[in-house]
Chains A and B, each alone.
Chain A
Amino acid sequence: MAPPAFHGYRTMKSSFLSAAVWLCAFVVLAGGLQAAVAADVTLSGGPWLRNVSRVDLDHGAGSDFRSPLDVDVLIATLSVSNTLGSNWSLRIACETNEAGWPPGLTIAVRRSGGWDESGLSDGTSYRALTPDLQTLFSGAGDYSTIQILMRVDGLSARMSPGSYELSIRYVIETGGP
């Protein structure tokens, strides 16, 4: 009966050793992977403020506000860093107080397509912001100067005077399951 007990102990010890080795491998691999894909997106440009008045009427009294109200306005410069050459996607969404945001008033953004942005895919056509994240453009590696342009459409005299606020969220996602 002694040999089987001995073999059982050896088997158990071997299993524990195996598990320990794999656990160490997991810690090293998972940590390494996480460090490799933790890209950052940094925004410069601050809040964008726009005062709309009678000078923004399309052609004076009797006309509505110009539409687009603004187009190709540089509102931000994004920097994507710490990608270690990985592929990434830049996704956008807006956050508004829906009760206060007039229906029909849309904010759209695109990237400028300048020479600093060579190698990026998509994103040079305007895309209207929605509460749901959507991919604006994608790329690989670090970029220091990605210019974001904005377009405002749909402002109307039927919309009450006041302050309309929204936040644009830029999310950089790397890798994926």
Chain B
Amino acid sequence: MHIVSIVRHKSTVAFATAFILSIGATAAWSADSAVQDVDLTVQEVNDISVGGTVSLALTSSSAGQTLTGNSSSTYSLTSNSATGKKITAQLSAPLETGLGLKVALQAPSGGTSAGAVALNSVSAVDVVTGVSAVAEADLTIDYTATAAPTVAPDTYSAEVTYTIVSDT
């Protein structure tokens, strides 16, 4: 009986030791936490810029014919709009009588160029449509100016404003 008693003691000791070690090990691990919120608010950005002043020299192949001149420039735009945008062009003031000006803009990826478009000061005209989520630089603008033979030789200036607007 003594032998049995000793064995039982050993069982108790072994059980208690294992119990303490296992639970004690669990209790030794602890965690606490803190949480911080990060909020990034992205505004809608529609930004366009054009190259410097463009000069066109108008010439004619023969007397009495309409004079024409061409020149090129560039534009760059960034738009992160989730909805479609378009680029319009408009003269700030009417051209002298007998003068004409057309522009053709290279379309950015995903957009569509309207080709050569005659400008006027009354209303903005679409030059590129279907613009969305783009950041491209150095796209070309081709200018073509015309002058009737009746226009007096001189230097004439025109200001063209390009605007990114909703494509609806």
Write the nearest CB–CB distance from B20 to chain A, whole angstroms. Answer: 4
Q: Which of A37, A47, A176, A177 contacts B39 (CB 8 A)?
A: A47
- Closest-by-CB residue of A relative to B6 is A11
CA distance A163 to B17 in the complex (A): 56
Q: Which of B16, B41, B138 contacts A22 (CB 8 A)?
A: B16
Stretch at the interface among B23-31, B56-64, B152-160: B23-31
Task: Indicate if the CB atoms of B78 and A37 lie closer than 8 Å.
Answer: no
CA distance A38 to B32 in the complex (A): 8
Task: Indicate if the CB atoms of A51 and B43 lie closer than 8 Å.
Answer: yes
Q: Given that A14-B5, A160-B80 are contacting pairs, would A171 and B45 also be in contact in the complex, using a CB cutoff of 8 Å?
A: no
Q: Which of B9, B35, B80 contacts A18 (CB 8 A)?
A: B9
Q: Which of B27, B28, B39, B78 contacts A62 (CB 8 A)?
A: B78
Task: Indicate if the CB atoms of B1 and A57 lie closer than 8 Å.
Answer: no
Task: Indicate if the CB atoms of A160 and B9 lie closer than 8 Å.
Answer: no
- Closest-by-CB residue of A relative to B139 is A62
Beta-carbon contacts under 8 Å, A7-22 to B: 7-8, 10-11, 14-15, 18-19, 22
Task: Indicate if the CB atoms of B20 and A39 lie closer than 8 Å.
Answer: no
**Contacting residues, chain B, for A160 (C-beta < 8 A):** 42, 80-82, 133
Task: Indicate if the CB atoms of A50 and B41 lie closer than 8 Å.
Answer: yes
Task: Indicate if the CB atoms of B39 and A165 lie closer than 8 Å.
Answer: yes
B9, B29, B49 — most chain A CB neighbours (10 Å): B29
Write the nearest CB–CB distance from A110 to chain B, whole angstroms. Answer: 15
Task: Indicate if the CB atoms of B82 and A48 lie closer than 8 Å.
Answer: no
**Chain A interface size, under 10 / 10 to 19 / 20 to 34 / 35 or more:** 35 or more
CA distance A105 to B23 in the complex (A): 43
- Closest-by-CB residue of B relative to A70 is B40
Check if B125 is an interface residue, CB within 8 A of chain A. Answer: no
**Contacting residues, chain B, for A37 (C-beta < 8 A):** 27-30
A-B contact pairs, 26 of them (CB 8 A): A15-B9, A22-B17, A30-B20, A34-B27, A34-B28, A43-B34, A60-B76, A63-B76, A157-B78, A157-B80, A160-B80, A160-B82, A161-B44, A163-B40, A164-B39, A165-B37, A165-B40, A166-B37, A166-B38, A169-B35, A171-B32, A172-B32, A174-B29, A176-B29, A177-B26, A177-B28
B-to-A contact residues, CB < 8 Å: 1-2, 4-5, 8-9, 12-13, 16-17, 19-20, 23-45, 47-49, 76-82, 133-138
Given A15-B12, A42-B34, A61-B76, output 13 extra A-B contacts at Cβ < 8 Å.
Answer: A7-B1, A39-B32, A43-B35, A61-B77, A61-B137, A63-B76, A63-B78, A152-B40, A158-B80, A159-B42, A167-B35, A176-B28, A177-B25
